Structure 1
Amino acid sequence: MREIAIIGIGAGDPDHLTLQAIAAIQRIEVFFLLDKGPAKQDLVRLRTEILRRHARQAYRLIEAPDPERDRAATAYPAAVEDWRRRRGDLYARLLSDELPDGGRGAFLVWGDPALYDSTLAVLDDLYTRQVVEFEYQVVPGISAVAALTARHRITLNRIGRPVQITTGRRLADEGFPPGVDDLVVMLDAHCTFTRFTAADRIDIYWGAYLGTPDELLLAGPVHEIADQIVTTRATARARKGWIMDTYLLRRTIGQATGQQARDD
């Protein structure tokens, strides 16, 4: 039976690896990497640097082009499902062609495999459908959310208060969720935070390229620094060709939003 490890490697710093992740890496014979194109070679270089530091055995590195996703599709869930299906077909071929029975392979997943990453879901689907025979384990990693709060020296939650994680798309469609004062937003290419005003009483803690030499951090009242974040983000993306960023919106507890105040 093939053995697969889905290993979380942290948000960008090679030192983010846990001892469990290092131990798992040192058991692996074949590592699978998805090539996301020339603009994102930094992501490949980080993974190869991690292997250089921590692998102690002979191993093979198998790279394959990542299937393109239709980011302009109006039917977002359908586009994601199509992308995941094509990724699943690719994974099935890689496991069948590159990993013999009894072999040990791994996917090195940015951040934590359980948070906004498709690798676990795709492999779980292949496992359930028995497309190719394998067993698998998941090694957790330091997520971008954990790295963000650590770098800003803040806690993710406040005493007795809920925290919600959402996407920029959902924030744009639904606004700030009722009953939530601490909202982590991921995958927000359109900088939805710019819609909030001084009346909303919201602070933002923003970070990009967390854990890397290119790390960017900004924090403050969102209505005061939104334009600075937009400019910083656009400049960084133009320079590198890609960007990974996330942010925490923190509403002052006990304060109604501007919309609520107007309604009252």
Structure 2
Amino acid sequence: MRKIYVIGIGAGDPDHLTIQAVKALNRTDVFFLLDKGAEKSDLIRLRHDILHEHIRHDRGYRLVEARDPERDRRAGGADYSPAVDDWRRARADIYERMLTEDLGDDECGAFLVWGDPALYDSTLGILEEILERGSVAFTYEVIPGISSVSALVARHRTGLNRVAGPVQITTGRRLAEGWPQGVDDVVVMLDAHQSFRHHMDKDPVIHWGAYVGTEDEILVSGRLSEVAGQIEELRSEARNRKGWIMDTYLLRRDRDQSD
């Protein structure tokens, strides 16, 4: 039976890997990597760095790379979910082919997932879809990783929540629709449009970070009214320079503004 590890590799620092993850790396025969194009070649390089840093045996391993399918990022509103579904099916086709053609019946393969596989990542859902298709049989194990959320608050030396208070993790798309009810602390991921701008009236504290855990890391913290422009400028410059950006932020409003 084929065995798959879904390994959370942290937010970019090879030291983010847990001992459990390192042990799984050293049991793996084949690593599956998705090439996202020249602009995001850093993401492939960082995965190679992780393998070089942590694999200790000399029996060898194989790398299987495939081009990641493009997603229609222009889709919005009612078209957003169908566009994501199409992209996930295209990814599932690629994963299914790799598992069938490049992994032996008694071998162990691994997907190296940025951050944590359980937080805003599609790998687990795609593997379940492949199993439902019934064309290839395998078991899989999930190895948790340090998410960009955990790395962000650690770098800002703050907690994710306050005493007896909840925290919500959401997307930029959702934040643009309104501040989540019943929470004062909101973590925002996948925000391509700086949706914090919709909440300048609340003037929360923002803890923002881009490329957290990498040599390109950028951190900004302060009242939104004071640092929003700086964040937008830094974000635009970094994206133009590298061709891509991954950023996350925590918004913390005053408790007397609660719903």
User: 1:132 deviation in Å?
Assistant: 1.2
Mark the runs of 5 or more structure 1 residues left unpaired by the alignment. Answer: none
1:128 deviates by: 3.1
1:195 Cα deviation after fit: 2.5
Query: Which residue pairs with 1:66 in the alignment?
Result: 68
Please tell me whether residue 155 in structure 1 is matched to residue 159 in structure 2.
yes
In structure 2, distance between residues paired with 1:182 and 1:84: 31
1:8 aligns with 2:8: yes
Matching residue of 1:232: 234
| Distance in 2 of aligned mates of 1:192 and 1:124 | 32
TM superposition shift of 1:77: 0.8
2:106 paired residue number: 102
Code of the aligned partner of 1:87: R
The answer for the alignment partner of 1:126 in structure 2 is: 130
Partner of 1:35: 35
1:196 partner letter: H
Query: Which consecutive residues of structure 2, in runs of 5 or more, have no partner in the other structure?
Result: none
2:195 paired residue among 186, 192, 198: 192
The residue aligned with 1:209 is 211
Runs of 4+ in 1 over 4 A off after TM superposition: none
TM-score, normalization by structure 1: 0.94
Q: Return the TM-score normalized by structure 2.
A: 0.96
Preserved CA contact (<8 Å) 1:202 1:250: yes
1:182 to 180, 185, 198: 185
Structure 2 counterpart of 1:100, one-letter code: G
**Counterpart residue type for residue 11 of structure 1:** A
| Deviations 1:71-90, CA, capped at 9 Å, x for gaps | 00131111111100010010
1:131, distance to aligned residue in structure 2 (A): 3.0
Deviation (angstroms), 1:249: 0.5
SS at 2:257's partner residue? coil
The CA distance in 1 between the partners of 2:202 and 2:211, in whole Å, is 28
Amino acid at match of 1:187: L
1:171 aligns with 2:175: yes
The residue number in structure 2 matching 1:53 is: 53
Give the letter aligned to residue 107 of structure 1.
F
- In angstroms, what is the RMSD of aligned CA positions? 1.1
| Separation in 1, partners of 2:239, 2:30 | 32
Structure 2 counterpart of 1:148, one-letter code: L
> Matched residues in 2 for 1:79 and 1:246: separation?
23
Secondary structure of the residue aligned to 1:183 is strand
Q: Percent identity?
A: 61
